[in-house]
Amino acid sequence: MSNENHQTSHGKALTATIIVIALILVGGFTYELGRRHALGNAKTASTSQHALKRVGILQYVSHPALDQIHKGVVDELKKEGFVEGKNIQIFDQNGQADQSKLATMSEQLVNKKSDVLVGIATPAAQALANATTTTPIVLGAVTDPVAAGLVHDMKAPGKNITGVSDQPPVAAEIKLGKQLIPQAKTVGMLYASTEVNSKSQVETASKAAEALGLKVEKFPVPSTNEIAQTVQVMSDKCDFIYTPLDNTIANAMPTVTEEANKKGRPVINSVDTMVKQGGLATIGVNQYQLGIQTGKMAAQILKGKGKPATMPVYTFSTGDTIINKEQAQHFGITIPADLQKNAKLVTTEVGQQ
C-alpha cells in the first residue's frame, strides 16, 4: 500500500510537471504564432507596395513595322496603368536577327522572373517558347502561330502562349495586284527561306494567284546578301513581285525598291510600312494597332484577368488598302476610280528608308 502511495505521489508530481511544461509550450507557441502572423502581414504589405511587375519584350529585328508594333505595346501598357519605374519594369531586347542572341536573351528574360514575355515576330516568339513552358508569352504579330509550332489551337491555345496574329488578307492583296497590273501573267514570290511565317503565307498567296489565272514563281532567299541579285533575276521572269510578312525582306525593302524600280517591276506588299518604302500597294493591318492589341493582352494577364491557355489568339478581319501614288506614276499605272476613292494614297517616305 505504502508502495502504492509512494507511486501515486510520484505520479502526481509527474503529472503536474507535464502540465506545467505543456502550458509553457502552448503559451510559447501561441506567442510565436502571433508574432509570425504580425511579421508576415508587415512583409506582405511592404512587398505589394514596392513590387514592380516585370515585362520582358523580345523583338526579332528592327524594321519600321516591328518598331511600330513595339511602340504600340509600350503605349498600351501605359494606357492600362502600367507606368515604367512606378509599377512596372520593362526589359527590352532586340535580337538583331541573330538566332544565338535570341536564345541567350530569352534565357535572360526568363531568369529575370518576368511576369509576362512579349515576342515580336515569329523567330523571337519561338526563342521565348524554347526558354519557358510556364511564364506567359504574348505573341506580337506572329503570322501563323500554328505553323510556327507555338499554339495547337488558335481558339484555345492550351498552354502558356497566346497573342496576336497578323495574318493579312492575302487573296485580296493578290487581287489588288491584278487590278493595278491587269496585263500581268506571272507573279514572283520574294521571301526568306528561313522564315516559317513566310512559307505558310506564300503557300496561301500562290493558291490565290493561281485561282486568278496567274503563274507563280517562287524566289526564296537564304539571307539578306542575295536579295539585290534575286530581285534582278526574278524581274526578268515576272510581271510583278509579291512579298509576304517577311522580316528579312522588310529589313531590306529599300534595296528591293531600288532594284525593282530599275527593272520596272512593281512590288505588292503585305504591310503599309513597306509600301511607304517604295512598294506599289497592299491591303494591310495597321502595325501600331497590332502593338496596341498585343499590349492589351499582356495587360490582361498582368492584371490576373486572363491566362494564355484560355485566351484565344486575336486575328484581324479587315485591312486598309494603301497605294503608293508616286510609284504608280513611276510604272505608268492609272489607279482605277474605285480605288482612287477607297484606297489611302501615300508617297515614298524617305525617313522609312
Residues lying near ligand TRP in the complex (CB under 6 A) are found at 65, 121-122, 141-143, 166, 197, 245-247, 250, 271, 287
Residue (of 111, 53, 100, 106) closest to 300 by Cα position: 53
Nearer to ligand TRP among residue 115 and residue 123 (C-beta): 123
Nearer to ligand TRP among residue 291 and residue 308 (C-beta): 291
Nearer to ligand TRP among residue 275 and residue 302 (C-beta): 275
Nearer to ligand TRP among residue 115 and residue 197 (C-beta): 197
* Opening angle at CA 340, ends 334 and 346, nearest 5: 90
Which residue minimizes CB distance to ligand TRP?
Answer: 65
Q: Give the nearest distance from C-beta 287 to ligand TRP in angstroms.
A: 6
Q: Give the nearest distance from C-beta 122 to ligand TRP in angstroms.
A: 4
Phi, psi (5° rounding) for residue 66?
A: -65, -35
Nearer to ligand TRP among residue 248 and residue 261 (C-beta): 248
Place of cell 539585290: 228
Nearer to ligand TRP among residue 121 and residue 238 (C-beta): 121
Q: Give the nearest distance from C-beta 146 to ligand TRP in angstroms.
A: 12
The single-letter DSSP state of residue 352 is G
Phi, psi (5° rounding) for residue 192?
A: -90, 130
The three-class DSSP label of residue 94 is strand
Q: Give the nearest distance from C-beta 143 to ligand TRP in angstroms.
A: 4
The three-class DSSP label of residue 261 is helix
Report CA torsion sign: 264, 265, 270, 274.
negative
Q: Give the nearest distance from C-beta 251 to ligand TRP in angstroms.
A: 8
Q: Give the nearest distance from C-beta 329 to ligand TRP in angstroms.
A: 24
Report CA torsion sign: 116, 120, 122, 124.
negative
Burial 37-73 (b: 16+ CB within 10 A, else e): eeeeeeeeeeeeeeeebbbbbbbbbbbbbbbbbbebb
